[in-house]
Amino acid sequence: MRLRRRRPSINQLARRAGAPKFRPMNPVEIEEAVSNLALEPFDRAEFPFQFLRAFDNSDTTSKRLRSGSTNQSDIPGGVLQRTNIHIATCAPGEVDATLKALRESPKTTSAKAKFILATDGEAFQAEDLNGGGTVACSYAEFPDHFGFFLPLAGITTVREIRESSFDVKATGRLNRLYIQLLKENPDWANADRQHDMNHFMARLIFCFFAEDTDIFLEEGLFTRTVEQMSAGDAANTHRVMAEIFRAMDTKPEDREAAGLPRYAIKFPYVNGQLFSGSTDVPTFSKVARSYLLHIGSLNWKKINPDIFGSMIQAVTDDEERGSLGMHYTSVPNILKVLNPLFLDDLRQQLEEAGANTRKLLNLRNRMSRIRVFDPACGSGNFLVIAYKEMRGIEAEINKRRGEADRRSDIPLTNFRGIELRDFPAEIARLALIIAEYQCDVLCRGQKEAVADFLPLGSENWITCGNALRLDWLSICPPTGTKVKVTSDDLFQTPLDQVEIDFENEGGETYVCGNPPYIGDKKQTDEQKLDMQRLFEARTDRWRSFDYVCGFLFKAVEFGRRLGSGWSAAFVTTNSVTQGVQVAQFWPLVLGGAEIQFAETSFKWANLAAKNAGVTCVTIGLSGYDARTRKILFSDGTRRTVTAITPYLTAGETVLVRERAEPLSDVSEMLLGNFAKDGGNLLIDHSEKRSLDDVAASFLRPIFGAQEFIKGIQRYCFWIPDAKEIVARQSAMLRERFERVAEFRRNSTKAATAAWAAKPYRFVEIRSRDYERAIIVPRVSSESRDYLPTGLLTPRSIVTEAFALYDAPLWNMALIASRLHIVWVSTVCGKLKTDFRYSNTLGWNTFPVPVLTERNKADLTRCAEDILLAREARYPATIADLYKAEAMPEDLRRAHEANDEVLERIYIGRRFRNDTERLEKLFELYTKMTGKKAA
Ligand SMILES: C[S@@+](CC[C@H](N)C(=O)[O-])C[C@H]1O[C@@H](n2cnc3c(N)ncnc32)[C@H](O)[C@@H]1O
Mean local confidence (pLDDT), 594-620: 72
Cβ count near 447 (within 10 Å): 11
- Mutation test residue for ligand 1: of 167, 307, 421, the one with most atoms within 8 Å of CB: 421
Q: From the CA of 515, how far away is ligand 1's center (Å)? A: 5
Q: What is the mean pLDDT of the chain?
A: 88
Mean local confidence (pLDDT), 697-708: 94
The DSSP symbol for 843 reads I
Residue 464, φ and ψ in degrees, nearest 5 = -90, 115
Q: From the CA of 172, how far away is ligand 1's center (Å)? A: 22
**What is the per-residue pLDDT for 1?**
43
Is the pLDDT confidence value at 488 over 50? no
Q: From the CA of 227, how far away is ligand 1's center (Å)? A: 37
Looking from the CA of residue 550, the nearest atom of ligand 1 is: 19
Element spanning 695, H or E: helix 693-697
Is the pLDDT confidence value at 892 over 90? yes
Strand order across the 834-836 sheet = 779-781, 834-836, 830-831
- Mutation test residue for ligand 1: of 158, 328, 377, 463, the one with most atoms within 8 Å of CB: 377
- Closest protein CA for atom 8 of ligand 1: 329
CA–CA–CA angle 775, 838, 580 (5° rounding) = 170
Mean local confidence (pLDDT), 415-437: 92
DSSP lists the bridge partners of residue 205 as none
Residue type, 718: W
**What is the per-residue pLDDT for 217?**
85
**What is the per-residue pLDDT for 832?**
65
Is the pLDDT confidence value at 660 over 60? yes
Q: Output Rg (C-alpha) for the chain, integer angstroms.
A: 33
Q: From the CA of 420, how far away is ligand 1's center (Å)? A: 7
Looking from the CA of residue 607, the nearest atom of ligand 1 is: 1
First to last CA, the chain: 49
**What is the per-residue pLDDT for 161?**
65
Q: From the CA of 524, how far away is ligand 1's center (Å)? A: 15
Q: How confident is the model at residue 62 (pLDDT cuts 50, 70, 90)?
A: confident
- Closest protein CA for atom 5 of ligand 1: 378
Q: From the CA of 513, how far away is ligand 1's center (Å)? A: 9
pLDDT, tens digit, 9 for 90 and up, residues 207-247: 999 999 999 989 999 999 999 999 989 999 999 999 999 99
pLDDT, tens digit, 9 for 90 and up, residues 506-545: 689 999 999 999 999 899 999 999 999 999 999 999 999 9
Residue 830, φ and ψ in degrees, nearest 5 = -130, 160
Q: Name the 3-class secondary structure at 517.
A: coil
The answer for residues whose C-beta is within 8 angstroms of residue 391's C-beta and 6 or more apart is: 408, 410, 439, 442, 443
Q: From the CA of 55, how far away is ligand 1's center (Å)? A: 31
- Per mean pLDDT, which range of 76-80, 512-516, 663-667, 822-826 is the poorest? 76-80
Better-scored residue on pLDDT, 413 or 861? 861
**What is the per-residue pLDDT for 30?**
87
Is the pLDDT confidence value at 874 over 70? yes
DSSP lists the bridge partners of residue 470 as 487
- Closest protein CA for atom 17 of ligand 1: 420
**What is the per-residue pLDDT for 341?**
96
Percent of the chain with pLDDT over 90: 68
Residue 215, φ and ψ in degrees, nearest 5 = -70, -40
Per DSSP, helices labelled H in 420-463 are 422-444, 446-453
Residue 124, φ and ψ in degrees, nearest 5 = -140, 125
**What is the per-residue pLDDT for 157?**
62
Q: Decide if 866 contacts 893 (C-beta within 8 A).
A: no
Q: Name the 3-class secondary structure at 663.
A: coil
- Per mean pLDDT, which range of 146-160, 391-405, 623-637, 898-912 is the poorest? 146-160
Q: From the CA of 593, how far away is ligand 1's center (Å)? A: 24
**What is the per-residue pLDDT for 456?**
84
Looking from the CA of residue 467, the nearest atom of ligand 1 is: 20
How far apart CA 513 and CA 531 sit, in angstroms, is 19
- Mutation test residue for ligand 1: of 313, 422, 426, 514, the one with most atoms within 8 Å of CB: 514
Q: How confident is the model at residue 782 (pLDDT cuts 50, 70, 90)?
A: confident
Q: How confident is the model at residue 306 (pLDDT cuts 50, 70, 90)?
A: confident
Q: Decide if 164 contacts 298 (C-beta within 8 A).
A: no
User: Is 0.85 surpassed by the pTM of this model?
Assistant: no
- Mutation test residue for ligand 1: of 167, 310, 420, the one with most atoms within 8 Å of CB: 420
CA–CA–CA angle 782, 783, 784 (5° rounding) = 90
**What is the per-residue pLDDT for 493?**
38
Better-scored residue on pLDDT, 416 or 793? 416
Is the pLDDT confidence value at 479 over 80? no
The DSSP symbol for 136 reads E
Q: From the CA of 111, how far away is ligand 1's center (Å)? A: 44
Which of 146-150, 575-579, 657-661 is most confident?
A: 657-661
| Ligand 1 binding residues, C-beta < 6 A | 310, 329, 376-378, 381-382, 418-421, 424, 466-468, 513-516
Better-scored residue on pLDDT, 458 or 288? 288
Is the bond preceding 455 in cis, omega lying within 30 degrees of 0? yes
Taking Cα atoms as reference points, which of 98, 59, 62, 95 lies closest to residue 81?
Answer: 62
Looking from the CA of residue 378, the nearest atom of ligand 1 is: 27
